[in-house]
Each structure stands twice: as structure tokens, then as C-alpha cells.
Amino acid sequence: MCGIIGYVGKKQALPVLMEGLTNMEYRGYDSAGVCVSKEGLIRVRAQGNIGKLKEQLAQHNLQGTSGIGHTRWATHGIPDEGNAHPHLDCHGSVAIVHNGIIENYQELREELKAAGHTFDSQTDSEVLAHLIEVECEHGSGLTAIHRALKRVRGTYGLLVMMKDLPQTLFVARMGSPLVIGVGSQEHYVASDPSAILPYTRDMIFLDDGELAAVSVEGVGLMNLDQTPVNKQVERFMWEVEAAKKNGQAHFMLKEILEQPHVIENSTRGRIDLIGTRAVLGGLSEVQDRLQEIDRLIIVGCGSAYYAGLVGEYLFEELAGMPVEVELASEFRYRKPIISTRTAVLAISQSGETADTLEAIREAKRKHALTLGLVNVVGSSVARETDAGVYNHAGPEVGVASTKAFLSQLTILTLMSVYLGQLRGTLSERAAGEVLAALYEIPDQVETILHNRASIRDIALTYQDMTNCLFLGRKYQAPIAYESALKMKEVSYVHAEGYSCGEMKHGPIALIDKSFPSVVLCPEDSVFEKTRSSMEELRARGGKIIAVTTNPDLVSHLCEDMIVVPQTLECLQPLLTVIPMQLLAYEMALARNLDPDRPRNLAKSVTVE
């Protein structure tokens, strides 16, 4: 995710900003920039890594004792220098760096353009600089920022400098973290404590709805209704490594725990205000072609492929669309029947997976409409497809995909609703039901995450197993495959994912008391059949870990149970997969393995 750094004090600001940006490199970024206040706001930005920014800085003289900096991980607008932060208003009087998403940026941008403002970037963030400039007519500083933020819908961690107030930094937080570091006659601002830990451990953590003016003299805090806020300075005792993982032991765990927030980010601004329509701006340009298509082919690898399999059920149920899901690595060796009325959707976290890219190129050669569901903005899949939707899941550092997978399921749901409405196969009422249930998912995920200790106990009970079967039916079958993949990757337990119905066609021969099965058995339309599969396992002495929404229905059939909240059948995968990620993680720990460093694996597979 993007990183913010700021400094005001007696030292030169630039070295502090550069060290802060370097300390946040682990978060992933595609461009970086700084702005220092001397006689005016001087800004330098570069596409690429901090090394590239340093090269640019060699041609400038950025002297000054206050400044702001940013590493950008693109969400709106490709990763290039023009879209890198800081952003300035028309007259270079306001500079901002921003983390988060401004949902209503398009309407604000149009309004500002009509009033004569010119925009230099494609970002949502730039509107903030212009809005603050406008509001400065009513008084600068916090007043202007406060008035500007009243007009904004979305999330922000915002750091602002004003030409007229060169020795003050202004900060505001809504849904995106910010911390103020307190030094002796100097202050720091960062989105991530690890950025400023080399300088100070004394920190003020902002809460949502808080604004502050930060100068050498002190910190003036207030909230959005302009009442002053008193806050304690806290002593932050984590070491840098722990701070990077948000205090968690591993990136994999940090990313699993982040998931409620990830679903919110993936849906933000993508459901209309009434809650009955999916709004996917990334598909609007190809809306006419989408109306014409008669078949959807989904391609992806690994977890992305399994997300596609869930997508198949979703698109068929909600959009009435014929769907096939293909392993991208096999797609090109076949002779896929593709016409101009076929859409090919590539799912890829990195957007750089070689097989997925080749599949898209094959589809293009055959004149299909190509779509991307990609996390990394500006990546090859995003560039080479005709249209698409970004995950907005933030950078995924853990090698085993967790939050990106959940975000893929979330967006596939939105895409199915969108297509269903476009094709007239989904009523407003039915769409509203799905979207309302989707809205509940972050809280439901949170309750599962609170259950981590009991999942750890299960991992400890089974830590010596050498084999394991994961079973599910209908929407849960792809979750069984994904769960087995997670278990294999990080714990090296041999795990197989099967649909329940297939079990009796072969794998059941493996079952005995040393070969446990994890059965995904929420109370859904196929529950009775799944229960029969459990009976079959038991009859052969197999141990069962049940993942259920209703303990009463299965407690007599299993040794261990993981309970998840009930939601609509089509959304249940978003909940059943969470304990499976935790189980794989806890199993890795129980077996003394580092889940962030699975052997033989790379985060992004850019070779065929």
C-alpha cells in the first residue's frame, strides 16, 4: 500500500524523507516523490524505485526544514511520474500526499474543471489539492482542509503543505492510518510507524475523523466537527521488523487479518448509494460489447484459477452466463473455440503471471473481448486487456495468496451482479439481497478471525499428519481445492482438494484412521448430500474436521469443528476460506516452518 512520510523541525527535511521512504519500501510501490518547502513548494517525483527518485533529486537542490514524501502503489491511474505524489493545486500553493480512495473524485473533478482548474494526473488524490486551494479563500490551514474534507466521500490518510505556512504540516485521517512522531523541537508524520522508528518512539496515533496542524512548536489536534482533541503521546516499543508486519509474526498472518478491510476496499465506491446496483467503472467502456457476449472464459493459475471456479458458479447463477474456467497454462495448447462474442477474463494478483498473459494474448489473436481482474495496477495483464477491474487489496507480500484471493471472490460477485443487471437476468431485488449480504461479510470475517486460537488447537492436534483431504460441494468445491493448495504450500502436508461427489470415484480408497478429511459443510442447498459424504468417510474410520454454520447438524459426525457465520450460499466461500487459511498458517507454525518462505516458490511466476 502507499506510504506517507513528513518532517518539520530544525534538520534538513530531505534526508529524513528519503530514509522514511526507504523504510516503507517493503510495502510495495511503483513510484515515489517528495516536496520540500523553502521559498515555495519544490517537488520531485519519479516512476520506479527510490533509486530512480535519487537520480532525479541529483538535478535539484531541495533545501528546507519541512517536507512531505510518498511511495505510491497505483489504484487510480497508471504508475508513472505524472500520477506519483505529491500532487499540487493549479498555482503550486498546496501540496498533498494521500493514501486511500476518494470515491466521488470524478464528480468533484468535473466540478473543479468547470471552475477552471486543470488537472495533471489521472489520480483520485489530485482533487484534494484543488479542493483545498478553493477553500483557502475562506482561510488557510486547518479551516481550508476541514472544509475541503467535508466535500469528500471515501478514505484518506492525508498530509498537506501550504506555501503560505511553510513550517506547518497538516494531517487528516479517515480509514487510512497516520501517526505523528514527537521529537525534540521536531515532528514526524508517517502512515507506518516503521518509517520513523529510527528517529522517535514517541507517537500520537490519529483516529478516524481527526485532523492536526503539526509544527516545531507542537501538535494541534481537532476532529471533523472542529472540537479540539487531547491525545496522549504513546511510547511505541515494537522493533522495525515487527512494525512492518503490523506487529504480527508473519506477512501471511498480517494479510489474513487484514481481510475485513480488504473486502471493504474492494467494494468501496462499487455499489450504488441505494445498494441495488454494482457500479464497475472499469467495465463501462466495454458495456456495449459485454451486452453482446454469449460466453465467458475465465483463465488463471493456482489460487486465481480457483477463484475463477467460484466465479463460474456466480456468473451462472447471478448473470445466467455460460462460463468455462481454464488453467491459463493449458488454455493455449488447446484449440479454444472463441468468437467475437466471447469474453475472456484473466484473474491475476500480480498481473505478471506468464501463462495468464499468454492466455490473454491467445484470446486477443482470436478477437475475443479481454478483461482483467488484477491487483497490481498498470501490470502487464492490466495493460494488455481491453478493460477490467482492480482489486484494491493492497500489495500482497506473503507468497501464499490470501487477501488477494478473498478480494477476487468479492469482485467476481460484483461482476456477476453487474453482468446480471446488464443482461437483464438479475432483478433489482435479487441484486439488492446479494449486495446487502456482501456488506455484512467484513464483520462476519472478523468474528472468524477472533476464533484463531481454536484453529491453532486443531492444527496442534493434527500436526503430525502426512496426508489430508479437503472436500466440498457446489460453491464449496473450489474452496476445498484452494484450502488444499494453501496447506501444501506452507505446511508441506500432502493435501488433496476434491469435490465431495468425486470422492467415491477413487480418493475414498485412501481413507483410514490416519488420513483425516476437512469437510466444508455449511448449511446450503447441497448440505444433505455433503452430510452423506461425511457418513461415508466415517464408515471407513476417517477422522473429520467439519467447517460448518450449524454445529448441531454435524457435531456427531466429526472429531473437530470450525464454526463460521451463515450467509447467502453464493457468498459462503468468502467465509469458509478464512479458517482454511488460518489452519494452513497454524499448521506451518506447528511444524516449525516459516509460512512467509515456502520452499521452491516465488510470489510471481513470470516464466512459462
Catalytic residues: 2, 603
| Position among 161, 196, 304, 310 found at the interface with ligand F6R (CB under 6 A) | 304
How far apart are alpha carbons 294 and 480 in whole angstroms? Answer: 29
- 577 near 482, Cβ under 8 Å? yes
Nearer to ligand F6R, 199 or 305 (CB): 305
Angle at 582 between CA 576 and CA 586, to 5 degrees: 150
The CA distances from residue 575 to 60, 64, 301, 525, 580, in Å, are 52, 51, 22, 16, 10
- 375 near 393, Cβ under 8 Å? yes
Query: What residues from 538 to 557 belong to the interface with ligand F6R (CB under 6 A)?
Result: none
- Neighbour count for residue 455 (Cβ, 10 Å): 24
Q: Min. distance of Cβ 348 from ligand F6R in angstroms? A: 3
| Position among 181, 302, 472, 595 found at the interface with ligand F6R (CB under 6 A) | 302
How far apart are alpha carbons 563 and 154 in whole angstroms? Answer: 33
Q: Min. distance of Cβ 254 from ligand F6R in angstroms? A: 15
Query: What residues from 319 to 358 belong to the interface with ligand F6R (CB under 6 A)?
Result: 348-350, 353, 356
Query: What residues from 382 to 421 belong to the interface with ligand F6R (CB under 6 A)?
Result: 400-401
Amino acid 8 reads: V
Please enumerate in sequence order all residues whose Cβ is within 8 A of that of 464, keeping only pairs 6 or more positions apart, or say none. none
- 37 near 166, Cβ under 8 Å? yes
How far apart are alpha carbons 554 and 563 in whole angstroms? Answer: 11
Backbone angles phi, psi at 139, to 5 degrees: 125, 135
| Position among 303, 380, 421, 548 found at the interface with ligand F6R (CB under 6 A) | 303
- 401 near 572, Cβ under 8 Å? no
Task: Please identify the residue of the shown chain whose CB is closest to the bound ligand F6R.
Answer: 302
Nearer to ligand F6R, 344 or 485 (CB): 485
How far apart are alpha carbons 554 and 531 in whole angstroms? Answer: 8
| Position among 46, 196, 301, 406 found at the interface with ligand F6R (CB under 6 A) | 301
Nearer to ligand F6R, 56 or 604 (CB): 604
Nearer to ligand F6R, 274 or 607 (CB): 607
How far apart are alpha carbons 216 and 208 in whole angstroms? Answer: 24
Nearer to ligand F6R, 78 or 605 (CB): 605
Strands 202-205 and 179-182: antiparallel
Nearer to ligand F6R, 532 or 606 (CB): 606
How far apart are alpha carbons 349 and 407 in whole angstroms? Answer: 10
Nearer to ligand F6R, 248 or 604 (CB): 604
- Neighbour count for residue 600 (Cβ, 10 Å): 5
Query: What residues from 451 to 490 belong to the interface with ligand F6R (CB under 6 A)?
Result: 485, 489
Query: What residues from 106 to 125 belong to the interface with ligand F6R (CB under 6 A)?
Result: none
Interface map 487-526 toward ligand F6R (x if CB under 6 A): --x-------------------------------------
Residue count at the site for ligand F6R (CB under 6 A)?
15
Q: Min. distance of Cβ 580 from ligand F6R in angstroms? A: 12
What the block records as the C-alpha cell of 424 is 437483464
Q: Min. distance of Cβ 256 from ligand F6R in angstroms? A: 12
Q: Min. distance of Cβ 312 from ligand F6R in angstroms? A: 17
Give the range of 3-11, 298-306, 384-392, 516-524 binding ligand F6R by CB under 6 A: 298-306
Q: Min. distance of Cβ 21 from ligand F6R in angstroms? A: 25
How far apart are alpha carbons 391 and 266 in whole angstroms? Answer: 6
Q: Which residues bind ligand F6R (CB under 6 A)?
A: 301-304, 348-350, 353, 356, 400-401, 485, 489, 604-605
